[in-house]
Amino acid sequence: MSDTASTEQRLRAQSNDPSFDDVWDELQWRGLIHVSTDEADLKQLLAGEPVTYYCGFDPTAPSLHLGNLVQLLTMRRLQLAGHRPLGLVGGSTGLIGDPKPTAERTLNTKETVVEWVGYLQQQVTRFLSAEGDNAVRLVNNLDWTAPMSAIDFLREIGKHFRVGAMLKKDAVSARLNSDEGISYTEFSYQILQGMDYLELYRQYGCVLQTGGSDQWGNLTSGTDLIRKVEGAHVHAIGTPLITNSDGTKFGKSEGNAVWLDPALTSPYAMYQFWLNTDDADVVARLKVFTFLHRDEIERLERAVADEPFRREAQRRLAYEVTSLVHGAEATEAVIAASEALFGQGDLEGQDRATIEAALRELPNTTTAASTTIAQALVDTGLTKSLGESRRAVAQGGVYANNAKIDDADAAVGDVLLPGGTVVLRRGKKTLAGVFVE
């Protein structure tokens, strides 16, 4: 089955929850509306005939991440309600980058941005259906900004923006009050995003933009511009910034972003990220990141309260989101590999790439085939000394590829899995990986 056919098959299995009167009520229940233009108008609009809406993604990296996934799944819920999505990948705004709260962005080369536009467009189409009357349409804002001269930009667009209002935008204000300051380039970003909305309104009749609530100033720059230029009333929805209940930042694993590209964040790492969700956060994550219906999420909520040690909600969340991003087959391989790593399956029968990706997430070392098990235990941090390694082996607590090790001086090259790896385990749960050169 082709990737396109597989994607459409997966998308056809998704549905909005019929227990809600309309998609607006479901978005509210899932906690996806943090701020918006007129709620009553939006509810009526989304309950009526299909409308065109968009969300923009800037190619400031070669992949989208979990924060972008919030937008993609919000877009998909609107598409399932019959509305028409425009997936904008910003070939022009990506050359500039929206203002970060703390420092100026490093500008990427034009060639890099073009390459990343292609990557992001492919990712967007994995979450939005290309079939039917409301198939997703990809757009690139470079198509309408590149032909425009600086004079035309200032005359036709810039004259509608007031500097006083622009200075009040949160991101701009934060930067103005920092030591870094803000360049005219990034200061102009909100004008470009406003122009995007105007262009999409003119070309496709687009009347709704979605984005993160931290982008609210940029979202409303478009609604204001359309009102001034076209005399039309259009809408914006700002989704909440996802945060953990303990105050730590969501979407980071070991300090790094969790990416949607498997080359940057493996399916194994993705699955483990969701599996480690705190009890206090898991129900909210199920609402935002899965298409499970209300009755099933409420059942899982009761399971968290009654039997938290089973971690049923976390396992379901990990399965659902990893399947959304990487497909059910990759997710099943991850689950099988995870069980095999802890002695509950045949390691040699597992997908080699999945096992290797799992070992990369563990403490690991790369060494020669002649290295002893005792030394490998030290190199991976499972023991602190060769003496401790020998005692652990003598006590029967060391395993290589799930086989008990009796000889601490045995070479790692004698116990290799296909592909030249060894799964070291001390006790029941402490794992490390060895890669043999």
Beta bridge partners of 364: 433
Whether 216 and 183 share a structural domain: yes
Burial 160-190 (b: 16+ CB within 10 A, else e): bbeeeebeebebbbebeeeeeebeeebbbbb
Whether 311 and 337 share a structural domain: yes
Whether 50 and 166 share a structural domain: yes
Burial 92-102 (b: 16+ CB within 10 A, else e): bbbbbbbbeee
pLDDT of residue 1: 60
- Non-local (6+) Cβ contacts of 219 within 8 A are 193, 209, 211, 236, 238
Whether 144 and 42 share a structural domain: yes
Q: Containing domain of residue 321, as a range?
A: 243-359
Q: List the CATH number of the domain containing 404.
A: 3.10.290.10
Whether 371 and 227 share a structural domain: no
pLDDT value at 166 more than 70: yes
List, for residues 21-78, the tens digit of each pLDDT value: 999 999 999 999 999 999 999 999 999 999 999 999 999 999 999 999 999 999 999 9
State the amino acid at position 173 in one-letter form.
S
**Three-class DSSP category at 218:** helix
Burial 44-62 (b: 16+ CB within 10 A, else e): ebbeeeebbbbbbbbbbbb
Q: What's the pLDDT band for 171 if we cut at 50, 70, 90? A: confident
Whether 311 and 349 share a structural domain: yes
Cα 332 to Cα 314: distance, rounded to the nearest angstrom: 15
pLDDT of residue 2: 66
CB 293 within 8 A of CB 310: no
List, for residues 272-289, the tens digit of each pLDDT value: 999 999 999 999 999 999
Whether 165 and 38 share a structural domain: yes
| 294-306 helix and 279-289 helix, angle to the nearest 10 degrees | 170
**Last residue of a domain, which of 194, 212, 241?**
241
Whether 124 and 55 share a structural domain: yes
CB 94 within 8 A of CB 107: no
Q: What's the pLDDT band for 140 if we cut at 50, 70, 90? A: very high
Entry pTM: 0.91
Whether 286 and 339 share a structural domain: yes
Q: List the CATH number of the domain containing 207.
A: 3.40.50.620
Cα 362 to Cα 348: distance, rounded to the nearest angstrom: 18
**Three-class DSSP category at 248:** coil
**Last residue of a domain, which of 216, 241, 266?**
241
Whether 216 and 256 share a structural domain: no
Overall number of domains in the chain: 3
Whether 217 and 260 share a structural domain: no
The 3-state secondary structure of 16-41 reads CCCCCCCHHHHHHHCCCCCEECCHHH
Q: List the CATH number of the domain containing 314.
A: 1.10.240.10
List, for residues 289-314, the tens digit of each pLDDT value: 999 999 999 999 999 999 999 999 99
Running DSSP on this structure, what letter comes out for residue 230? H
List, for residues 350-375, the tens digit of each pLDDT value: 988 999 999 998 999 999 999 999 99
**Last residue of a domain, which of 208, 241, 274?**
241
Whether 130 and 223 share a structural domain: yes
